[in-house]
Chain A
Amino acid sequence: DAGVIQSPRHEVTEMGQEVTLRCKPISGHDYLFWYRQTMMRGLELLIYFNNNVPIDDSGMPEDRFSAKMPNASFSTLKIQPSEPRDSAVYFCASSLGGPNSYEQYFGPGTRLTVT
């Protein structure tokens, strides 16, 4: 398997623009997670899905952020409008769920810079 695939790897955009990050999880995995990593706040869970359904979005910072998972092989994280404080590395991860043995497989991340 190719692992979790994220695109783009790097994104530079201007404040106010819409940004869409994409993720393809490992085939057969039923959980998908979106994280944000910054030096100041470390690794933060934004939202996760189980069988394409959002389960917990309490980590989404505000209404400018939205995430969708239209099918088992694709998810997007959208920021509209973007702000400089959204600059971070965004990771997607997937796992094959079980009661107590989640192993999350991370993608390489998308480095977002908002100027």
Chain B
Amino acid sequence: GDSVTQMEGPVTLSEEAFLTINCTYTATGYPSLFWYVQYPGEGLQLLLKATKADDKGSNKGFEATYRKETTSFHLEKGSVQVSDSAVYFCALSDRGQFYFGTGTSLTVIP
């Protein structure tokens, strides 16, 4: 069945460092892919999405490209800020089903 695998955390970076959080997926259909972010004490919020191969989702300086050939949707940001400290979830939807990864905790230190 469908699934999402994302890199384990926690990840700790210095401010202005480059961020990559890896996400790979398994799907039998043509899924849509998402990154959600959860700030401390809050619910998940959609960060970005891509609905077909080669689409690039972007928001707040974050980017992720839907790579069908490598079944990946890695999250990147060129320069992280302290305010980016949160838990990031990769997710997919496919034929009426929705799957979340286990989440990657990011801490950015000044």
Count B interface residues, CB 8 Å.
22
Within 8 Å of chain B (Cβ to Cβ): is A108?
yes
Is the Cβ of A102 less than 8 Å from the Cβ of B43? no
CB–CB A100/B30 < 8 A: yes
Q: How many A-B residue pairs have CB under 8 A?
A: 53
Contact A100 B45 (CB under 8 A): no
Are the C-beta atoms of B94 and A91 separated by less than 8 Å?
Answer: no
A109 at the interface (CB under 8 A from B): yes
Q: Known interface pairs A42-B102, A43-B89. Does A104 touch B46 (Cβ–Cβ under 8 Å)? A: yes
Whether A43 lies near B103 (C-beta < 8 A) is: yes
Whether A33 and B43, one on each chain, are in contact in the complex, defined by CB atoms closer than 8 angstroms, is no
CB distance from A35 to the nearest CB of B (A): 8
Say yes or no: B43 contacts A108, CB within 8 Å: yes
Cβ-defined partner of A99 (8 Å) among B36, B42, B44, B95: B95
A33: chain B residues at CB < 8 Å are 98
The contact of A103 among B46, B96, B100, B103, by CB within 8 Å, is B46
Instruction: Tell me whether B3 is interfacial, beta carbon within 8 Å.
Output: no
Question: Residue A34 at the B interface, CB < 8 A?
Answer: no
Is the C-beta of B88 less than 8 angstroms from some C-beta in chain A?
Answer: no
The 5 closest A-B pairs by CB, nearest first: A106-B43, A102-B93, A106-B44, A100-B32, A42-B102
